[in-house]
Structures are given as structure tokens and as C-alpha cells.
Chains A and B, each alone.
Chain A
Amino acid sequence: MNQKYIKRLLGIIAKKPILYTYGSTFSSVSDKYLNIFTIESLRNAYSDNSHPVGFGSLFVPYEMLHALEITPFPPEVMAGFTAGLGIASQTIKQSASNWYSQDLCTFHRSASGALELDVFPKPDFILATNLACDAAQKSFYIYSKKYGIEKNFYLIDVPYHYSKESLQYLTGQLKNIYMDISSKTGREPDYSKFREIISLSNEFRNWAVKVNDLRKDLTEYPPYFNALNYILPFHVLPGTEKAVTLYKHMYRELKKYLAIQQGKNGSKGNLPKRILWLHLKPYYKSEIFDILKKENCIVVFEEINYVYWPELDPLKPFESLAKKMLSHFLGGKIDNRVKVILDIAREYKIDGAVLFSHWGCRQSNGGARIIKDSLKKLGIPTLVIDGDCVDRNNSSHGQIKTRMQGFLEILNSKT
């Protein structure tokens, strides 16, 4: 599989009638739009030559790229796709040949291998941040060297503490990056466009908040729906109509499921145990969620879908985006993350938490003990699973299954 092949494939699938026929094969409306918008976004990155392509790490303010009409391409999310498509073993092998340490997170290793194997489109700009992820800032710079575009590599340095000075410092960086890309692409800064993008981002945020509120009572979900699959729209698409449309549909769909669930309330039966999912999940085929279902447990919320930032001010786009980045609970002290987790645990009436401790991800597994102890104080047990979100060969299937099943047995034995 290489760029040419993907281009050809996307050229066929992304044609509207085929795409919507494909979309209709999903039993969930949210999944339908997720897949359609993902394919459209990829098609734009691979085939639309009228806009520059910008690689971005997960926590960069993508609104800025949308405002500059740069087509975003998130290599870490794409690494998740390499797992889903079953090509991660090839991409990871390729990264090993290029001296990437086996200790490095496989999202970055698989992305680097994919890049070496010419699976990704060539970027014009690369944006990374040190927010939460240490590996991104380094590996994305290596990507820029590989493409010979070091001068178009931007590192957004997010300060450890949220203060007035930090906000000014970060706002200044974002403005400089915006201006620099503007001048490199020969486009005049368009602030009215930027205001529109910020307003769309707010609209998406409002729908996401509504979805999250609704989920506090929801235990009946559309078949195969898994909110951990919505990384691309939640992080990359804010500022686009796509993100708004998707979350609007998701809200309506989940509201219908809530009504069905409430209709069944007469026959309450054995209520499922409520699980909070911490960090990400395996993006290859895994039995983990089948085990949850079998043991009558349900993931009621995921930390990654928490709306952590305040509404943005369209008149102050740079400052707003700086505030968004500084508000992230994965930035700064572990206490910020713990506070959010405890708030979620209370709001969603969690019975147990699962922390999928992804190989090589320092921000995820570094705080495991503190998170486990903090939740314990609320009487909530936590299972820490050492696994790999991308490389199935780095996860022992049987061991993960036993740990998961054992944890759920303990949870279910509690009245």
C-alpha cells in the first residue's frame, strides 16, 4: 500500500454516490458521518492540490490550519488507521529499520514507517506541540527533515503553568506561526474567515457538550458505536462544518437511544456497571469491548472526549486558541488530569475505570499510580492494562483478556 494506491482508492470511494452508499452500510448515523467525513478529509489531503497540506500533532489548534485553508493531516490518527487496516506491522518494521527506538510510542513509530513507505501525502507545513506528548515534538521534526521542509516546521511551546504571561507567550507564538504561514503561502491574513472558523469551533463545542451531558444518563448505544473512534472529528475537525454536522447528528441519534432506554425502564433488570475509559484503545481488532458487553459493563465516558476548554472568542482568535491549549488537562501537573478524572467519575457515576496504558506513552502511563489511588479514595477500582494501541504484536491478547475479565468479575461481585 502506497500513496498512489490510496489516491486511486480514495478517488473511487470518495465520489459522492459511492461514498453515501458506503456510509449507509453503518448501523449508526454517527458512524456513517464519521466515515464519510474521514474519507472526504483524506481525499482532500491526498488529491486536492489547490490547498497546501499541513501535518499536525493531535493537540495543535487545527482551527488555525482551517483558517489558513491548509488541509490538515494528522499522522498520529493515521497511525491508528494503520492498525485498523492491518498494515501497522509493516510500518513499525520500517520505522525499526530507520533507527526508531522500540521504546517509542507506536503511534509515532507507525507514522514514521508509513511516511518512509510513502503511504502519507507530502506535507507543505508541519505543526507540533509539546502539550501532553513528548514524542510528537521530536518525531514531527524528524518528519520535516525527511521531507526537507525544516523551515516549515513549527513547534508550539505550551508553558507548564497557566498564567497571564503564559497566555501572552503562547498567543504570540500562534500569531507568529499564522503570519509566517500566511506569508509563505502568499495569502493575506483573513481575519473574517478566522472569526467564522472560531464560531464553527464554538458550535462544535456546544454540540459536544450536549452529547456529553446526554451521555450521563445513556447506557443504550447504537450497534458498534464507540466514542473512542471519534478522535479525528474531536481534535482535527473543530472549526469545520463537518464537525458541527457530525456532533449534531450524534446528539440526535443518542437522544433517540436515550428515549428507547427510558421506555424500557419498567424492566430495569440487571443494570450494567459503568466504566470510565482512560486514554485510548487498541485500534486493531480486539476483543476488549466484547468482554465488557459479555460481563454486563458499559463504557459511559472516555477522558479523551472531555470538553476541557472554554468557549472561544471569535474576536480574539489567537488568545482563545492559546487558552484552549493551556486549559488542556494533560498539560502541566498530573493534578490537572486527576481533577478532571475525578469530576468525570462523579458526574457519570462511575463504578470502575480502565486505564489502557499505551506502550511508550509517558503522559498516559506515568500517572497511573496517582490516578488509581485518587479514584480509590472515591471507592472506584481502576484496572491498568499495559498494552499497545497500534501494534497488536506488542500486546498479549490472552493476558489482556484475563485481566479485563478478572477486573469485571470483581466489579460485578460488588452490589
Chain B
Amino acid sequence: MYTCGIDVGSVSTEAVILDGKDNKILSYAISPTGSSSKNAAKNAFEDTLNKAKLKSRDIKAIIATGYGRINIPFADKNITEISCHARGAISLFPDLKTVIDIGGQDSKVIKLENGSPIDFLMNDKCAAGTGRFLEVMAKAMEIDLEHFAPIFIKTDGKVDITSTCTVFAESEIVSLIGQGVDKDKIIKGLIYSIANRITSMVERIGLEEPVCMTGGVAKNLGVVKALEENLGVKIKIPDEPQITGALGAAYLSQNIG
């Protein structure tokens, strides 16, 4: 029995096909969402089918999740990213107590008990503390986002970024660069500004170990390190953190019908 989970995020769309026989991931795909969540979901789904050498009729059930979950006509059901990320993370680390997910548009902290979500918090209605914030800043600094982590690790000292608003933070760093402030210290400050926002969310909900981090930003080891430092814990990272929501959706699809 094969099931599929599709996570339609604001920046990227992920699809995962799961083999129910041994709960192995048969294939997955990650693609940019672009302007149409419907097309993005369709493309990601077809991509995973091709990689797994399956036809759509081979898939027993599909669950859509993420902000674009409502508009996927071929999905059997839609479930929020809260339930899907929790399920995906638990499948990878069964004893988890806390999941931190930082995606393109939102960030969330999910508290788990006996493998099920019992509480969660999400960021308020702005891009601060999300992947989008980092993307905008990387663009403003003309530095590839993938360079942020090595810079974070090698740099001593940071410059605090005081603006919460992404647009104002962008102006702030442009102005700092203009003043000749070391770019590496600005990058370190940016990473801490995200980590500090997430830390306060984790503290509000109550930190409990083990902690796992999912979502695209979990690939940025600078953010992971800053969070580990703030929280004083070691954070588990899945091999492919970006597909955790889709993976959870594929697991939850097993309960359909």
C-alpha cells in the first residue's frame, strides 16, 4: 500500500510517497511553489511518482498539508501542518517531546506527549522568525544563504539587528553595511534575531527534550547552533528536514479509508 503526502508551503512544495509495507520512503520531491499551489502540488506529485516508478492509481490515499492544502483537488483530505509535522517528526524520532519547524512563511513549535501533539504555537502575522526573513536579508547582502552557516561558525561577536519588521531590518542592514560594519557580524546578528524569536516561542510553550527541528531553515546549521546555544539543548535534525510535513501527511494517509 502506497500513500502520498504533499506539503504546499509558501516557498516550496514537497511530496513524499511512503510504502506502507515497511514504512520506507519510496521517493520524494521538492520544488518551488511559485504562483499556483495547485500546479506546484501536481508537479511535485508527478515527480515523486516518476521517481518511484508508480502511477497515480497505485497510490491509495493522498493528504495535502501546508498553507496551500485547501486547493489540491486530487487530495483525499487536508490536514494542518501542525499534525503533519508532528507525525513526520515522530516517525523519525519516536521519543520526541518538542518539534521546532521553521518554514518559508511561518514558524511553529509543537509540544508532544506520547507521540501526539498536545499544544503548539505559531509565529504572529509577520515574516520575522521565518525562512523568508533570512532569504530577504541574504539577497540584500548579496551573499548566498548557504554561506550563512560557515560565517556564523567562524565569526566572533555579532551586531544586534533591532528591527523586527523584515522590511525595516533590510534597511537596517543596508545602513550598517554603509557604515562599514563587518558583514559577517551582521549575518551572525541576523541568525540570532531568528533564533531569539523561536527561543521565546519554545519557552512560552515549555521546553522539553528531546527536541527536533524541521523545515527548510533546519538546513541552516547557523540557526540550529544559535538555537542550541539559546536553549541549552542538542537539537535533532532529520536527514531531509524539509520533507517532514509531507512525510507526516503520507503517514496520516494510511488511516484513510
Contacts and interface: CB of A to CB of B under 8 A. Distances in A.
Q: Do A and B bind each other?
A: yes
Interface string B47-82: 000000000000000000001000000000001111
Given A381-B118, A396-B125, A406 B83 contact: yes
Contacts of B81: 402, 406
Interface in B119-158: 119-120, 122, 124-125
Nearest to A398: B67
Please indicate which of the listed interface residues A386, A402, A413 has the most CB atoms of chain B within 10 Å of its own CB.
A402
Interface string B95-129: 00000000000100000000011111010110000
Interface residues of B, number: 16
A381 B67 contact: no
A196 interface: no
Interface string A103-138: 000000000000000000000000000000000000
B80 A409 contact: yes
Contacts of A410: 82-83, 116-120
Contacts of A381: 118-119
A409 B122 contact: no
Main secondary structure of the interface of A (DSSP, over half): helix
Given A386-B124, A396-B125, A399-B125, A409 B67 contact: no
Contacts, number: 38
A402 B68 CA distance: 11
Nearest to A399: B125
A406 B106 contact: no
Contacts of A369: 204
A403 interface: yes
A166 interface: no
Nearest to A402: B80
Interface string A75-118: 00000000000000000000000000000000000000000000
B135 to A, nearest CB: 20
Interface string A399-414: 1001101110110010
A402 B119 contact: no
Given A381-B118, A410-B117, A402 B125 contact: no
28 contacts: A381-B118, A381-B119, A386-B124, A399-B106, A399-B122, A399-B125, A402-B80, A402-B81, A402-B82, A402-B122, A403-B122, A405-B80, A406-B81, A406-B82, A406-B83, A406-B117, A406-B120, A409-B79, A409-B82, A409-B83, A409-B117, A410-B83, A410-B116, A410-B117, A410-B118, A410-B119, A413-B83, A413-B116
Given A381-B118, A402-B80, A406-B82, 11 more contacts: A369-B204, A396-B125, A398-B67, A399-B106, A402-B67, A403-B122, A406-B80, A406-B120, A407-B120, A409-B80, A409-B83
